[in-house]
């Protein structure tokens, strides 16, 4: 169980952030904000992919007007992304957004920042202090000679002081860096200094697959340490991929309830009786279309498959031209190899509708015996790759002092 860092709680619209609330997934629109229909369509797609909060740029008057037009139709809370022009923050609030992101590196006038904070305070809207290594305040960059963790944290603390001086405390903070170890150290240092909720992300992570790997490395490291209240994968890709990845990461870490498919599969080997990669891809495509929130295993052989994947809700393993369908490690049906994916999808539907106990009770009476016979036959043909019996004898001899 992950013990999360205690933090203050705020609300972005109806989404609680910090204070023990579920970790939220964020993404950002890539559309032009003045394109109302295009932006709305992307926000709805992001919500469908798992985004709890969406950030939208507000970089000119037309963008602010677009926000005003679309806000009544938004399915999730919207944060306006503000750079340089503080009056656009005021315009975004007038348009009806539920939060702001301010970059201390490019809105540096103290009175401008405080003006925005007073208006946000009166409207009860949160502000994210979004420090970014690539746009660090020039004075801090000169002081530290590089965007090191201490520089990013000092930038955040300076901005927070401005906000607190006008009695504004609905603050969340990010200190994003494109270098993963540095990003992790930034957040660790910040977590020791403040109790405000933290928004995690590796900035400018890049395209897939590298951007995904960097984001997972940085974000999951911190989440496993209990640091982080909301996350964003900053990928050079369709933002829907960001939302999907963020949601999946939280589910895999046990930090959010599973709402989508979790497909596990063996990496394949010379013992595999089918093309595991092909079957796994077909199964994932078919099961994702069903929208079932279960864990499913695709295993290449019946020798070890059901046992290795016994914790999965459902799975299938190949053996001698047939697929051995198992529920919680117990074989319940044997089907022709060509029908493996079809049978898997059918059983998944029934499992969700009827439950584990009902599906185990409905198991074909001969399924387990057929699977055991196939397993023994494969062991005779291929041998025991794990040399289990030989190892068992050797261990026993060692323990007894024999040999």
CATH number for the domain spanning 192: value is 3.20.20.20
157 and 231 fall within a common domain: yes
Residue 39: the pLDDT is 97
Same domain, residue pair 272 and 239: no
Structural domain ending residue among the three candidates 252, 277, 303: 252
Last residue of a domain, one of 252, 281, 300: 252
Tell whether 219 and 324 lie within a shared domain: no
* Rounded CA separation 245/17 (Å): 19
Q: Residue 296 domain-assigned?
A: yes
Pairing verdict, β 314-319 and 322-327: antiparallel
- What per-residue confidence (pLDDT) applies to 375? 75
Residues 231 and 369 in one domain: no
Same domain, 125 and 31: yes
pLDDT of residue 205: 94
Instruction: Return the percent helix, strand and coil in the chain, to nearest 5.
Output: 50, 20, 35
What pLDDT sits at residue 115?
A: 97
Same domain for 302 and 225, yes or no, is no
Residue 3 within a domain: no
Last residue of a domain, one of 252, 270, 293: 252
Q: In terms of domains, do 25 and 155 share one?
A: yes
Measured at the CA of 250, the angle between CA 17 and CA 309, to 5 degrees, comes to 155
- Tell me what pLDDT residue 381 has: 67
Look at residue 269 and tell me if it is in a domain. yes
Three-state SS for 24? strand
Do 195 and 89 fall within a single domain? yes
Reduced to 3 states (helix: H, G, I; strand: E, B; else coil), residue 128 is strand
Peptide bond into 209 cis (omega under 30): yes
Do 228 and 298 belong together in one domain?
no
CB 183, CB 217: distance < 8 Å: no
Which pLDDT score, from 0 to 100, does residue 320 have?
Answer: 74
Q: Which domain holds residue 336?
A: 262-382
Tell me how far the alpha carbon of residue 40 is from its chain's centroid. 22
Using 70 as the pLDDT threshold, list the residues of the chain that sit under it: 271, 381-391, 403
Are residues 126 and 167 both part of a single domain?
yes
With respect to residue 1, please indicate whether it lies within any of the assigned structural domains: no
Report the pLDDT value the prediction gives residue 390, as an integer from 0 to 100.
66
pLDDT at 398: 80
User: 299 and 192, same structural domain?
Assistant: no
- Number of domains within the chain: 2
- Residue 392 domain-assigned? no
Whether residue 65 lies inside any domain: the answer is: yes
388 found inside a domain: no
């Amino acid at each position: 169980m992950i013990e999360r860092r205690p933090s203050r709680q705020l609300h972005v619209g109806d989404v609680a952030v910090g204070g023990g609330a579920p970790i939220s997934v964020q993404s950002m629109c890539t559309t032009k904000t003045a394109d109302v229909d295009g932006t709305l369509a992307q926000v709805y797609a992001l919500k469908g992919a798992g985004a709890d909060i969406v950030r939208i740029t507000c970089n000119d008057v037309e963008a602010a007007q677009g926000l005003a037009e679309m806000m009544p139709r938004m399915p999730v809370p919207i944060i306006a992304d503000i750079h340089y022009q503080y009056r656009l923050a005021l315009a975004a609030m007038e348009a009806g957004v539920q939060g702001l992101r301010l970059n201390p590196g490019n809105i540096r006038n103290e009175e401008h920042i405080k003006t925005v904070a007073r208006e946000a305070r009166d409207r009860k809207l949160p502000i994210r202090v979004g420090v970014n290594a690539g746009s660090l305040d020039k004075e801090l960059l000169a002081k530290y000679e590089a965007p090191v963790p201490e520089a990013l944290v000092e930038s955040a603390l300076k901005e927070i002081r401005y906000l607190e001086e006008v009695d504004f405390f609905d603050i969340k903070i990010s200190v994003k860096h494109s270098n993963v170890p540095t990003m992790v150290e930034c957040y660790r240092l910040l977590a020791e200094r403040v109790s405000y909720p933290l928004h995690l992300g590796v900035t400018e992570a890049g395209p897939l697959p590298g951007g995904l790997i960097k984001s997972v490395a940085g974000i999951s490291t911190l989440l496993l340490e209990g640091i982080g209240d909301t996350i964003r994968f900053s990928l050079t890709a369709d933002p829907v991929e960001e939302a999907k990845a963020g949601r999946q990461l939280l589910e895999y870490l046990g930090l959010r309830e599973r709402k989508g498919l979790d497909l596990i599969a063996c990496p394949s080997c010379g013992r595999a009786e089918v093309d595991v990669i092909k079957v796994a891809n077909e199964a994932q495509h078919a099961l994702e279309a069903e929208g079932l929130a279960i864990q499913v295993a695709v295993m290449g052989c019946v020798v070890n498959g059901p046992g290795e994947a016994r914790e999965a809700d459902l799975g299938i393993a190949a053996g001698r031209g047939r697929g051995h369908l198992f529920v919680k490690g117990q074989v319940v049906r044997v089907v022709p190899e060509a029908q493996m994916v079809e049978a898997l999808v059918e059983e998944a539907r029934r499992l969700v509708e009827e439950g584990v106990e009902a599906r185990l009770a409905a198991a074909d009476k001969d399924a387990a015996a057929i699977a055991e016979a196939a397993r023994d036959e494969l062991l005779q043909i291929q041998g025991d790759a794990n040399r289990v019996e030989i190892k068992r004898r050797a261990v026993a001899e060692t323990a007894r002092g024999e040999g």
